[in-house]
Chains A and B, each alone.
Chain A
Amino acid sequence: MGFPVSLRVDDEDVPAEAGDAVFAWLREVDERFSPFKAGSEVSRLDRGELSPDGLSADLTEVLHLCEEYRIATGGAFDVRLPGRGLDPCAVVKGWSVQRAAELLTAAGARRFCLNAGGDVVVSGGPWRVGVRHPEHADKLCTVLALTDGAVATSACYERGDHIIDGRTGRPATGLLGVTVVAPTLTEADSVATAAFAMGPEGIDWAAAREGCEVYAVDAGRRVLRSRGFPVSGT
Chain B
Amino acid sequence: MKRALPVLVLSVAGLIPVWRYEPSTGSTATEATAPASTPSVSSSPGSSSKVVTGTLVPTEKGDVQVEVTYAGDKITSVRMLKQPNHPQTTAAVPKLIAETLEAQSADIDTVSGATITSDGYKESLQAAIDAKGA
Co-complex (A, B): yes
Interface residues of chain A, those whose CB is within 8 Å of chain B, are 1-4, 6, 8, 93, 113, 115, 117-120, 122, 127-143, 151-159, 177, 179, 203-204, 207-208, 214, 217, 221-227, 232
CB distance from A210 to the nearest CB of B (A): 9
Residue from B97, B106, B118 within 8 A of A140 (CB atoms): B106
Residues of B within 8 A of A140 (CB): 103-106, 108, 111, 125
Can you give 18 contacting A-B residue pairs, CB < 8 Å? Answer: A1-B115, A118-B115, A118-B116, A120-B110, A128-B108, A129-B108, A130-B125, A131-B111, A132-B113, A137-B120, A152-B112, A153-B113, A155-B114, A156-B114, A204-B94, A225-B97, A227-B96, A232-B106
A113 near B115 with CB under 8 A, answer: no
B interface, how many residues as a size bin? 35 or more
Residues of A within 8 A of B106 (CB): 128, 130, 140, 143, 232
Residue from B105, B114, B125 within 8 A of A154 (CB atoms): B114
Residues of B within 8 A of A223 (CB): 98-101
Residue from A2, A4, A177 within 8 A of B126 (CB atoms): A4
Residue among B107, B115, B116, B127 having the largest count of chain A Cβ atoms under 10 Å = B115
Q: Is B130 an interface residue (CB 8 A)?
A: yes
Q: Is B31 an interface residue (CB 8 A)?
A: no
Q: Is B38 an interface residue (CB 8 A)?
A: no
Q: Is B21 an interface residue (CB 8 A)?
A: no
Main secondary structure on A side of the interface with B? strand
- Chain B residue nearest to A150 (CB atoms) is B112
Residues of B within 8 A of A154 (CB): 114
Q: Is B102 an interface residue (CB 8 A)?
A: yes
Docked pose: A217 CA to B102 CA in angstroms: 10
Instruction: Decide yes or no: A203 and B96 within 8 Å by CB, A137-B123, A158-B120 being known contacts.
Output: yes
Q: Is B91 an interface residue (CB 8 A)?
A: yes
Residues of B within 8 A of A227 (CB): 95-97
A128 near B115 with CB under 8 A, answer: no
Residue from A115, A130, A151, A208 within 8 A of B92 (CB atoms): A208
A4 near B103 with CB under 8 A, answer: no
Q: A224-B97, A226-B94 are in contact. List 11 more A-B contacts (CB 8 A).
A: A2-B117, A3-B118, A4-B127, A117-B116, A118-B113, A130-B125, A158-B114, A159-B117, A203-B96, A222-B100, A225-B96
Residues of A within 8 A of B108 (CB): 128-130, 140, 143
The 3 closest A-B pairs by CB, nearest first: A132-B113, A207-B94, A155-B114
Residues of B within 8 A of A221 (CB): 100-101
Docked pose: A117 CA to B99 CA in angstroms: 27
Residues of A within 8 A of B91 (CB): 208
